[in-house]
Amino acid sequence: MTYVITDPCIDLLDKSCVEVCPVDCIHYDEGLDRKLYIDPDECIDCGACEPVCPVTAIFAEDDVPDAQKEYTELDAKWFKDPEAVRARINELKPAA
């Protein structure tokens, strides 16, 4: 299991979660990404990131709200095809 970053992170990019992650599994490309991504292969399921998120955007994979389930796939896919994920994020929540 892993943790997933969902919709409330879009355009916020608060990096509190990055600072507390003991394995540095939270990534993004500055200037390109509108949200942060957790690498499911690197995440050790410690949960350190969840309580520090100021907008409650981080959930354990099994606890992701139904309306946000797509973000589980998007977080994993970003590490293989970031351009496709960026395009999908823009479809889900167009930039202001």
69's CB contacts (< 8 A; 6+ apart) are none
Provide the whole-model pTM.
0.95
Structural domain that includes position 23: 3-92
For 22, other C-beta atoms within 10 Å of its C-beta total 9
CATH number at residue 61: 3.30.70.20
Q: Over the stretch 18-40, which tens digit does the pLDDT of each residue have?
A: 999 999 999 999 999 999 999 99
What percent of the chain has a predicted confidence (pLDDT) above 70?
100
Number of domains present in the structure of the chain: 1
Residue 81: pLDDT band with limits 50, 70, 90: very high
